[in-house]
Amino acid sequence: MPDAWLSAALPVLGLATASVEAVRSAAIRSGATGPVTGADLNPERVAAAFSSERLFRDGDARAGAFAPLSGFFQTKDGYLRTHANYPHHRDRLLRILGLAGSGQEAEPDRETVAGAIAGRSAAELEDQAAQVGAIAVRVRTEAEWRASAPGAAAATEPLVRTAERDDAAALTLVGGVLPLKGVRVLDLTRVLAGPVCGRTLALLGADVLRLDPPVPAEIGWQHLDTGQGKRSALLDLHTDRPRAQELLNRADVLMTGYRPGSIEAFGLRIPPGLVRARINAWGDSGPWADRRGFDSIVQAAAGIALIESGDGVTPGALPAQALDHATGYFLAAAIIDALAERADDGRGRDLVAFLARTATWLLDAPGRDAHHLPAATPTAATTVTHGRVTTARPAIPGFDDYPFPSHPWGGDQPTFP
């Protein structure tokens, strides 16, 4: 039943459908015609796209959503939420716990890490993690988050901040079933909001080139689950700046998860008319502007984990990485609008979306239900299989599949046709 898709204490399905409808509305404003304009939004398909890790299969293998050292840990004064899916984040976490470089033959297991965290203050560990680039936050109540400086910063920003620039370049949108056909997108994002945004633009006809450094590699299943419709290439921005600048000069859209000024720090120049879109966890203002974060981390810091607690004490979680997915769709809608506006005036634009702002949208939305049903897993009808890989169908109405399944990571040349 529809009420069970993404069922939670907070109105997650409402957030999901609002973000998907934002894309449909923007597509229509850009001149889209065909099924996207009139097809019914399918709540089960939306839920499937948002909780795609539950449906993903690579042969018999399922998605491994979190690494052993990612999750909630009890501290002496509450709970800590860690994210250690990437080796460099795991190593930094072990360093602040005094468990790195101990000469052990094997990496410390979860029980050992839990023991090291148990006697420490969550706030102390949060600050130490921020100093070394590890990912860990203290689990807060909603009231604590709203009263905090980073919580206040998230509440005062627009859902997607848009600023016009004075530079300009011509662009034509073709309209029709694929209104973004001919638009070139350079996607330098990872996990999950940016990749969701990029595949949504590809669904509407854009030529999306996902560009990654040779190391560290993306988590394999996440690439397969969010890379549909995109080409995937490797390029080191530090060592091959001429090729990177050539790609940037040909792009209409640049998507990054970098801090302000990072592209320029590589020695690259932003070309006239470019729609430059950035995604981050905490926004560009407030004391956490330079901190790293992921969906699960924002849920813990913003009070969502305790709202979703089963007993009011032990932290819980949303039934999907909903902040990531919704932020990706909201940003895609803003990019489509920016491209349509550029087609009228030629001007470049800067867009910023961040997970903590999407969390505020969810916290502010009416319709909480403390006695909700368990979240239902979408059925196989919401999936599509290509070869060994099964993924969720698109959430955008009118599309049953993406233009093509995910290419092998780094399997394409770093060029635009």
Per-residue burial over 97-124, b if 16 or more Cβ lie within 10 Å, else e, is: bebeeeeeeebbeeebbbebbeebbbee
Per-residue pLDDT of the chain (417 residues), as tens digits, is: 555 889 999 999 999 999 999 999 999 999 999 999 999 999 999 999 999 999 999 999 998 778 889 999 999 999 999 998 888 899 999 999 999 865 455 788 999 999 999 999 999 999 999 999 999 999 999 999 999 999 999 999 999 999 999 999 999 999 999 999 999 999 999 889 999 999 999 999 999 999 999 886 678 899 999 999 999 999 999 889 999 999 999 999 999 988 777 888 888 999 999 999 999 999 998 899 989 899 999 999 999 999 999 898 999 999 999 999 999 999 999 999 999 999 999 999 999 999 999 999 999 999 999 999 999 989 999 999 999 999 999 999 999 999 999 999 999 999 998
Neighbours of 372 (CB within 10 A): 18
Give the H or E element holding residue 359. Answer: helix 355-364
Taking the model in full, what pTM does it have? 0.96
Q: Which domains does the chain have, with CATH numbers?
A: 2-65+159-286+318-392 (3.40.50.10540), 71-152+297-307 (3.30.1540.10)
Cis peptide leading into residue 216 (ω within 30°): yes
